[in-house]
Amino acid sequence: MKKLLGLFLAVSGVLSHSTFAQLTVSQAAPLYSPVPNLIQNVLIGTGVQVSNIISVGNSGIGFFNGVNSNIGLDSGVVMSTGGINHVVPNGPATPVGNAGGSDSDLQALLVSMGLPASSINNLVRITFNFVPMGDSIKFRYVFASREYPGFTCSLFNDVFGFFVSGPGISGPFSNNSINIALIPGTNIPVAINTVNSGVPSAGNPAPCLAANPNFVAHSIYFVNNAAMTTVNMPGFTVPLTAETKVNCAQTYTIKMAIADVTDGALNSAVFLEAGSFKGIEPELQTSNPFPNAPNDSTLIEGCNYGLMNFVSQFPASDTTFIYYNVSGTAINGVDYDSLDGTIRFEPGNTAKGLIVYPFADSIKEGVETVIITTADSGCFTAGVTRTFYIIDNEPIYVSKLPDTLFYCELPFEYVLNAAPDSGGIPPYFIDWTYRGVVYQTNDTLWESKTWAEKDSVEVFIYDNCFSGHTYRKTIYLVKPDTCPQDTTPPPPPPPTGPEEITIPNVFTPNGDGVNDIFIILKLNTHPSAQIKIFNRWGDVVFESPNYQNCDDANPAACWNGRRRNTGEPVPDGVYFYDLIVGQEKYNGTITIMR
């Protein structure tokens, strides 16, 4: 109801001095006057609480509606050194300014840009305290001036700034504040001499980015409004964002100030977008760590894991916690790795993950659920709920493949059918190795018309769980002594290529010289291997793109139980690995015991 009333008053308050298809302004009470009402009702959005609102130059502070203009913002708060009506086409011939006024930070800002610390006129300033319910704040704005284009690169430019002070902020302005009205991706203040068309006005050699050959990076933020059809300013910026890192639930101060410099003949304004002054919280991002899994919410026992990833715009400055509740039909610590209800953001963290890892218990239980609901810590998104579905892990079973194919005459033809009867997670992937060549197909049928004596075919089947479900069998072509009574196959040929690997599930890096490194047996017979090892919070503690080099003769290539092999020992417990060996993929757990 409050928003509807605000719209009505905004429209009714501007009819006396505005026309259709142009920017309009208003100071109608009670929503838009006095200034504290305007700030609370229009500028402030979600995730922030404000107080102690103080203003200077109130004739230049009001509400604007920019829907029918080219200012780039639909509505918000305008701060104009010539009075709010001066930004409206066909407004007063003589600007209504706020003569006099002083602000040391604005003068310091002029000096920082290589300009004289000139006298300031028509000061318009809004100051208030705010408490963010997040790790950063931001808002959108547009700076406009009548000094475009005639005073581009002059020694005297109107000046404005947004000065923020508070915990964790250390800057060159009063109260250790910083100016956050900056050109995107730089520390350069937004001003007439830094954002413009790129063409200096005649006879103005002052310090100016318009003379910089790389200026195109800043002229893209400028709008040439020479016609002044909808906004009474010949030039202004595109909508820009002011933002800064803050500490959640602590008190900060912002000073928004704009003033004419030296004289008040040509005025300037800054437009602040309605509802854009917000506290920004870390957001939940979901992704599927297993591209071939059915989806990012279906977990297969002993096969894959679920991930909830919380991402922050800025690194955490203090240790912060996200609390969550666990429910569902699956049993915490029995059906999946125990979850303690806390995610810890340590200083410097920008992302933190919560892993749900289901155990392979060989018990048919049907679909079980794990429901994660985040609790409101006062600084993070409240009420986020995510449901994971755990399904049984059953081995692949194939009945249609024979152990041996017997023949009496050559050539011999036979169609092999490797369609699984049960188990696994479709789709299935099949490798057929024949005479040393691997044929890969998703088709369950394979036919050879060139079988020769003592031929064999090795069949390897894997599914969406990578190494979670596999099936391997060798079929031999045998000519019995008495055809076809003798069914004894010859012994299998010795291995001629990479051997099947064995992955241990525990090692003891205690320095006693026994089992001190994580060695995967027979891995060095394979041409390539990649591995990543995670802790239960999803942090990578070790990774190697060439783990096939790890063996007793080369222990430096192995994981030694330390964080990335250079830090302190990781704690005893269960860790998770993702291993890719050639075309085969494995994942599982390794336990460290010292």
- What is the CB neighbour count within 10 angstroms for residue 166? 20
Identify whether residues 529 and 544 lie together within a single domain. Answer: yes
Question: Which one of 245, 280, 315 terminates a domain?
Answer: 280
Residue 490 in any domain: the answer is no
How far apart CA 242 and CA 182 sit, in angstroms, is 7
Question: What's residue 61's pLDDT?
Answer: 95
Strand, coil or helix: 557 = helix
Contact 22, 66 (CB under 8 A): no
Question: Which one of 391, 417, 443 terminates a domain?
Answer: 391
CATH number of the domain bearing residue 554: 2.60.40
Question: What's residue 172's pLDDT?
Answer: 96
Strand, coil or helix: 106 = helix
User: What are the beta bridge partners of residue 446?
Assistant: 416
Q: Which element (helix H / strand E) includes 6? A: helix 2-12
Residue 516 in any domain: the answer is yes
User: How many Cα atoms occupy the beta-carbon half-sphere of 400 within 13 Å?
Assistant: 14
- What is the CB neighbour count within 10 angstroms for residue 403? 11
Q: SS3 string of 242-258?
A: EEEECCCCCCEEEEEEE
Express each pLDDT in 53-110 by its tens digit.
Answer: 999 999 999 999 999 999 999 999 999 999 999 999 987 766 776 656 789 999 999 9
Contact 576, 587 (CB under 8 A): yes
From first to last of its 594 residues, the chain has per-residue pLDDT tens of: 223 233 333 333 333 333 447 999 999 999 999 999 999 999 998 878 999 999 999 999 999 999 999 999 999 999 999 999 999 998 776 677 665 678 999 999 999 988 888 888 899 999 999 998 777 889 999 999 999 998 888 887 899 999 999 998 999 999 999 999 999 888 999 999 889 988 888 777 666 766 566 666 688 899 999 999 999 999 999 999 999 988 878 899 999 999 999 877 789 999 999 999 987 766 666 555 554 455 678 888 877 788 888 777 666 655 666 778 899 999 998 988 899 888 877 777 778 888 888 887 777 888 999 998 876 555 655 567 888 898 887 778 888 888 888 877 777 777 888 888 887 777 788 888 888 888 887 677 776 656 777 788 888 888 766 545 678 888 888 877 766 554 566 777 666 678 889 999 999 898 888 888 999 999 988 999 999 999 988 889 999 999 999 988 899 899 999 988 888 899 999 899 999 998 889 999 999 988
Identify whether residues 430 and 364 lie together within a single domain. Answer: no
Question: Which one of 343, 366, 391 terminates a domain?
Answer: 391
How far apart CA 457 and CA 436 sit, in angstroms, is 9
Identify whether residues 378 and 454 lie together within a single domain. Answer: no
Question: What's residue 73's pLDDT?
Answer: 97
Q: Which element (helix H / strand E) includes 422? A: none
How far apart CA 165 and CA 256 sit, in angstroms, is 12
Question: What's residue 377's pLDDT?
Answer: 56
Residue 498 in any domain: the answer is no
Best CA proximity match to 9, nearest among 63, 56, 54, 55: 63
Domain count of the chain? 4
Residue 103 in any domain: the answer is yes
Q: For residue 107, report the phi and psi dihedrals to the nearest 5 degrees.
A: -65, -40
Give the chain's count of helices (H) and strands (E). Answer: 4, 34
Residue 106 in any domain: the answer is yes
Identify whether residues 448 and 360 lie together within a single domain. Answer: no
Burial profile 422-433: b = 16 or more Cβ within 10 angstroms, e = fewer: ebbbeebebbbe
How far apart CA 451 and CA 413 sit, in angstroms, is 7
Identify whether residues 102 and 119 lie together within a single domain. Answer: yes
Question: What's residue 18's pLDDT?
Answer: 39
User: What are the beta bridge partners of residue 284?
Assistant: 310
Question: What's residue 379's pLDDT?
Answer: 65
Burial status of residue 307 (CB atoms within 10 A of its CB: 0-12, 13-18, 19 or more): buried
Burial profile 84-102: b = 16 or more Cβ within 10 angstroms, e = fewer: bbbbbbebeeebbbbeebe
Identify whether residues 270 and 313 lie together within a single domain. Answer: no
Strand, coil or helix: 210 = helix
CATH number of the domain bearing residue 360: 2.60.40.2030
Identify whether residues 147 and 126 lie together within a single domain. Answer: yes
Range of the domain at 101: 2-280
How far apart CA 16 and CA 78 sit, in angstroms, is 18
Query: 17 in the Ramachandran plot: left (φ > 0), alpha (ψ -120 to 50) or beta?
Result: alpha
Identify whether residues 367 and 421 lie together within a single domain. Answer: no
Residue 429 Cα to chain centre, angstroms? 33
Express each pLDDT in 495-539 by its tens digit.
Answer: 667 888 999 999 989 888 888 899 999 998 899 999 999 998 888
Identify whether residues 171 and 44 lie together within a single domain. Answer: yes
- What is the CB neighbour count within 10 angstroms for residue 565? 15
Residue 429 in any domain: the answer is yes
Residue 497 in any domain: the answer is no
Question: Would you state the structure tokens that stand for residue 236, as one six-digit string?
Answer: 């202004």
Identify whether residues 348 and 448 lie together within a single domain. Answer: no
Instruction: Give the global pTM.
Output: 0.55
Identify whether residues 33 and 181 lie together within a single domain. Answer: yes
Residue 466, amino acid = F
Express each pLDDT in 242-275 by its tens digit.
Answer: 999 888 788 999 999 999 998 777 899 999 999 9
Residue 270 in any domain: the answer is yes
Question: What's residue 316's pLDDT?
Answer: 60
User: How many Cα atoms occupy the beta-carbon half-sphere of 190 within 13 Å?
Assistant: 32
Question: What's residue 532's pLDDT?
Answer: 93
Identify whether residues 260 and 288 lie together within a single domain. Answer: no
